[in-house]
Structure 1
């Protein structure tokens, strides 16, 4: 069960053998990105459930492999394919009611949680992690067939090279056991464990025509505890820990708080010279922040579409300019029919530069750099236009208006078949 044999003629197109086109962003550098295209017949799998997917992933092995996902796979299932919910992972006497009572800042203070309920939370979280964290090894292509969905999973490319993920709806990497992190200078916050897709120390990765969202369990429906939103989801796609040579294209990020983090810490100086990422023809819709937020990396951000709905009162920013980042933004289109102004689109923390040109804001050309400096002087340092590099690896760069129309029609899973 879980792995099917489907004749080649049954598919309109075999996406599993596709490789990244020449010059298509940073992932085309060097030998390029070919994923599992060299897999022999014994390592081409069509999987229909979690058990089959786990077997095909082979513990993150580097053997060239092509994994085709058919239908909907739920990572929160047991070995017999039965659905698991949060109560099935709960152990050690953990309960949210007891946890909230134990670590209420009014009585617990600002110390890191410890003791019986935190130990029980960690044990419960470990049980869920064993189910939902799925390790992807080098020389792997994962591709969704028609209407394919992988839900509840944290797909992790860790210290691996040459990986392709395409045409797949990735949704709802839901953390049953968020941890409370007190903050001596403020309220503190809830921290969740799972990125929907996490690239950690990964190189030569192509993410294409993927849809990433919280669909099924939106954080907006979660309660507030300790005066902070009880978030259940971390990043949609985080690129951290020295990952390098990444292209993310024609993908859709929707209905989420923190969409994409590139570089995970101001002190991670080992990231210098890495975190080279291209983002093109992607759609960020109803995303609160981090689209993306960048530290250290040389990021080419072109022909992307941003949609902030009229009722999005929690919107914070789209482009985050952080420590030693070098973002080259070209011909991106922003739609904000509500209260969001052009000055809200860029936020800086210790950043020094942002190169931008060809930006459209609600159909009108704007200079994001000039607007940022004019409206944020005093609260944030002025940014310069010199990011120290010029992109050479890219596909044709269209006008923002042309890209806006094409991305609205073509980004996300299901648009390749």
Structure 2
């Protein structure tokens, strides 16, 4: 049954979130590559696991999901591999290096106060050092209309208090991996992916203390997104955030795998404007509206849901059929009953040995 939600999204709200209990566990790796078990590099990167077994100061590893796909002239996502390693601790230095041509591995040290959106151009790895790396006051925009933001990795950084978006993947950026970050308390979206961007993996991130979490698709009128916006969201914690986990327009397929949803006041996921989402292996806790088909003034999308758990939550809406992500990559699904402990223990900064 297709039901459009007619309520307006709530304004941004700042409110405390209870700290998640971190459970000490050995987390088994899952995921895949080319119709087989995942490779060691994917397992180290956290496609189904949180581990620092093979990481170094440069956060080595490769993603699973759509960022791993060989497409558009890019074989997976390598970021700044092969380029100089630099460490930055000021806004000026960060702005300089993310905007330079060529590959760079940029290590963010400590708390950096920025203003507005810093434009990140192609072939960059932006990696937080230790547990205290933070970008506050502003955010990162991947690419401009004249300078592509392709092949970018962002890991192990806390984002807070952004004047606009915390991270914006836009302007046809492709092959992007956003992994093990902490995002909260911005002005607009915490993580928006839009304007013909493609082949993105969002993994092991902690979203909290915010309303609008993860937009996918610019607007109802931006039909250029049709055939683009292929994104994998896996093992993220949407912790008390209100909405957009994600809110999707036009994209297909979008793979929402093994995420933990808790106390999401407006809704969990919304598929609109003929988007196609596969939602599987997730755990919804105290979410009255876990999945919407259509939302606000946006027309309905399509959703296939399987093997999810709904605890103290409402009934999900589903509709239609969706292209299988296995058309692009292989993977395995964690038992959804293990998701709250595994995701709570593995998300956010300080988990991958940067």
From 309, 312, 328, the equivalent of 1:360 is 309
* Aligned position for 1:272: 226
1:154 partnered with 2:198: no
Q: Which has the higher contact order (CA 8 A, sep 6+)?
A: 2
Q: How big is the shift at 1:151?
A: 0.8
Q: Deviations over 1:335-394 (max 9, x none)?
A: 11xxx53x4543523124211011112289x862xxx3xxxxxxxxxx424124343425
* Aligned position for 2:274: 324
From 319, 330, 333, the equivalent of 1:384 is 319
From 124, 148, 153, the equivalent of 1:140 is 124
* Aligned position for 1:46: 87
From 305, 312, 316, the equivalent of 2:260 is 305
In structure 2, C-alpha distance between the alignment counterparts of 1:55 and 1:264, rounded to whole Å: 28
Q: Deviations over 1:227-261 (max 9, x none)?
A: xxxxx710000000000000011111111111111
* Aligned position for 2:97: 56
Aligned length, in residue pairs: 285
In structure 2, C-alpha distance between the alignment counterparts of 1:32 and 1:276, rounded to whole Å: 14
* Aligned position for 1:203: 174
From 173, 187, 194, the equivalent of 2:162 is 173
CA contact (8 A) 1:356 1:385 kept: no
In structure 2, C-alpha distance between the alignment counterparts of 1:279 and 1:13, rounded to whole Å: 22
SS at match of 1:258: coil
CA contact (8 A) 2:59 2:352 kept: no
In structure 2, C-alpha distance between the alignment counterparts of 1:170 and 1:352, rounded to whole Å: 31
Q: How big is the shift at 1:396?
A: 2.9
CA contact (8 A) 2:293 2:302 kept: no
Higher helix share: 1
* Aligned position for 2:77: 33
Q: How big is the shift at 1:13?
A: 4.8
* Aligned position for 1:163: 152
* Aligned position for 1:257: 211
Q: Which runs of 4+ in 1 moved over 6 A?
A: none
Alignment CA distance shift 1:36-1:358 (3 Å)? same
SS at match of 2:220: coil
So what's the TM-score if we normalise by structure 2?
0.76
CA RMSD of aligned residues (A): 2.0
Q: How big is the shift at 1:54?
A: 2.0
SS at match of 1:287: coil
In structure 2, C-alpha distance between the alignment counterparts of 1:304 and 1:402, rounded to whole Å: 11
In structure 2, C-alpha distance between the alignment counterparts of 1:414 and 1:208, rounded to whole Å: 12
Written as runs of structure 1 = structure 2, the 5 A alignment for 1:19-30 is 19-21=61-63, 24-30=64-70
In structure 2, C-alpha distance between the alignment counterparts of 1:360 and 1:389, rounded to whole Å: 20
Structure possessing the higher radius of gyration over alpha carbons: 1
SS at match of 2:207: strand
From 7, 10, 14, the equivalent of 2:56 is 14
Q: How big is the shift at 1:284?
A: 0.3
* Aligned position for 1:219: none
CA contact (8 A) 2:272 2:302 kept: no
Q: How big is the shift at 1:15?
A: 4.6
* Aligned position for 1:346: 292
Q: Any stretches of 5+ residues in structure 1 without a counterpart?
A: 1-11, 76-130, 175-193, 215-231, 310-314, 373-382
CA contact (8 A) 1:260 1:293 kept: yes
CA contact (8 A) 1:211 1:252 kept: yes
In structure 2, C-alpha distance between the alignment counterparts of 1:46 and 1:139, rounded to whole Å: 16
From 271, 283, 287, the equivalent of 1:333 is 283
Alignment CA distance shift 1:64-1:326 (3 Å)? same
In structure 2, C-alpha distance between the alignment counterparts of 1:196 and 1:288, rounded to whole Å: 16
SS at match of 1:301: strand
1:212 partnered with 2:197: no
In structure 2, C-alpha distance between the alignment counterparts of 1:385 and 1:406, rounded to whole Å: 31
